[in-house]
Amino acid sequence: MNYFRQPIALFGFVLPIVITIAVIAGALMIKGSVTRSFNEKFAHYRGFEQNKRQALAAEAEISKKREYIERWEALVSEETASAVTLNLREIEELLPAKEFQKTAQDHPSGRKSFAGASAQNSSQVALAFRGTFRSMQKALLELETRMPQLQLQELRIGPENQSNSLNFQVTYTAWEK
């Protein structure tokens, strides 16, 4: 009679195999847990690295424009009417009086042209000048350089009847903050 066969099978094979499987399963579970934790950290880290690179790139890009932005913000924060007046006064001093004269300045209400298409705050500036072609071009170049928020909406040029000068009617949309 084989008294020992079953105990040997049980304690010699089955039990060690079960224990081994349990131990290996435990080890694999621990590894799985650590791996999951690592993957989570890895994802965060990779995201962090990527975001860091993006942030550095963005920072570099922004830093190049920051001074402009600050200037732009200062410009669009100003009241358009007074800024236009002030700048034109300074421009008038740069040009011969006979060649450049402001004849009218108005700030019509309503949102026309570019102002009507954008939700950005804006105002209208209607100006009239008398002067020579080149002086007027210089004046507009100066004004539009000093105030980049001005978008030309309309420009009319016609002869001035009583002199050799020209009449200019200029309408701008001025972006505001």
Partner 1 sequence: MVATQHPSELNPLQLYRQASSILRGTSRATNDGWYQRPLEQQFQLHLRIDGSRAETWIYEPSTGRWKSAPDFPENLILEPSKIAEFAKTSVALAKQAGARSLGIILHIADEFATTEIKPQLDNPGALAELREQIVNDPFAVLDDSSLSADEHSWRLIPYPAGGSEAIATAIILSRQADEFVAKLRAYGNTNNFPVVVDAFSAPLVALLTLPDLKTGPNDNPFIGVLPYARFTVLAFFNEHGDLRLLRTLQHRGQRRPSNLRHAVATTATALEMSAPEIFVLPLAGEPDHQMVSDLKLVFESSSIHEINWRETRFHKAETPSISPELIVAAEIKQVAETPLANTNTFVTLRDEGWATQSFLPMPLAEAEVFPHRSEMKMLRAAKYARYGLFAAVLAVFGWVGVNILNMIRKPEWTFNKQEALMINGRLSMLGQEQKKIAHWDNLLEDRSKGWASMELLARLFPEKSGFLVRSFSHTANPEVTPGQAQVGFIKEWRISGLAREEALIRLSDLNTREGISVAFTEIARVTGNQSFRTDLPSRSVVVNVKTLENSAFKPMPPEEMVAADESTYPFMFDLTITQRFEAADPMALNVAKAP
- Residues of span 139-158 touching partner 1 by CB under 8 A: 140-141, 144, 148-149, 151-158
Give the span between the Cα atoms of 78 and 153, in whole angstroms. Answer: 20
- Residues 113-142 binding partner 1 (CB under 8 A) are 113-114, 116-121, 133, 136-138, 140-141
Tell me the closest approach of the beta carbon of residue 73 to partner 1, in angstroms: 8
Tell me the closest approach of the beta carbon of residue 97 to partner 1, in angstroms: 20
94 lies in the binding site for partner 1 (CB under 8 A) = no
Which tokens is 104 given? 């009218």
69 versus 94: smaller Cβ distance to partner 1: 69
Tell me the closest approach of the beta carbon of residue 75 to partner 1, in angstroms: 9
Tell me the closest approach of the beta carbon of residue 95 to partner 1, in angstroms: 13
A 10 A CB-CB count for 13 gives 10
Binding part of the chain for partner 1, among 4-12, 81-89, 98-106 by CB under 8 A, reads 4-12
104 lies in the binding site for partner 1 (CB under 8 A) = no
Cβ pair 131, 92 in contact under 8 A: no
69 lies in the binding site for partner 1 (CB under 8 A) = yes
